[in-house]
Structure 1
């Protein structure tokens, strides 16, 4: 995967290689482990930067760049109606040699904990609840709570809440192997850089040739395709 992001005087580009391995459990659920390596090029352009106070050594008036390598890891247990897991980003907290400082400029380790449960109200309606908690070693935890109603397995309406930050309204539609979604964020916290935002997403599900296989203690079994969480 390739990424390219720019915001003001700071830009970031790089690549990420990801792999995962899944193991079938005896109850027909599964556990999956993932590991990724990423390389990022950080660039700080201070040549045209306007600052309130000149002479700040942490904001050099030059063009500086630094390339670093780091790793992410995670695991997830999942079944037909649920999943839960965790992920850790920036495992080695790679140093960034910007502004001539190596020890203070470095990537910060992030921790994500997530879970979801799908409840079938009827043959045509289901309710899916999910939660995501994000935290670092230097900041407090941030919690996302979400719920959506799924109709006939093809369309949904959702509501999300991030305490002291935002409320999210969402809707989406699946059509064959394609999926479309729209999110509307309403800011309710003190971060008023933007009172609201819009997000459109489009996806395509690549068909799998076969379900994965494993060798649990009770013997060789094959995981059926309808048990794979989508």
Structure 2
């Protein structure tokens, strides 16, 4: 089948966007310049607001998606993790990300941590730290790396994610900006997980099934570390 009609359509689009009509004329430098000078897109009202409004919207949307949210002071993180696991009557092997911000969880004498870092299939509880929380949808942005293995997001039955109020942003575009800022050398992480509520699917007879591709329970520990937010 000839590709001439497709080429004609694509050439018309490139001309309308004032870009080279021949793909071979597009240099690597031009692509890099475009990525660095990306234009801001329209920001919906739900992704705008004061710091306090964004935090409250994140909590409301996360809970609507089926997550349980506990808000606490930064020095109460370990106690909050223990409390949510106890309240949920969850028991079993616990794996905690090797993120230094989670060291106090391992130090708690009320919780036995089986391993730090990559979990095994026998670890039924995983504890990780989000790079950002998106107020627009109540989503947690998890970037993979040595301190945050991707398997922590999918292997366990119960997932506990810590996020700080200072890391709550408006929408997805703000989350990507936060991710880029964390990678000054331009090397983005291999994997980025966007987690909104427990794992679920409606593919089977349009009936929601929880835990289809990952954790059945999602607990969010929100740490109040932002002076611009009212706190608990």
Q: TM-score, normalised by structure 2?
A: 0.19
Q: Which has the higher contact order (CA 8 A, sep 6+)?
A: 2
**Larger fraction in strand:** 1
Question: Normalising by the residue count of structure 1, what TM-score does the alignment of the two structures yield?
Answer: 0.19
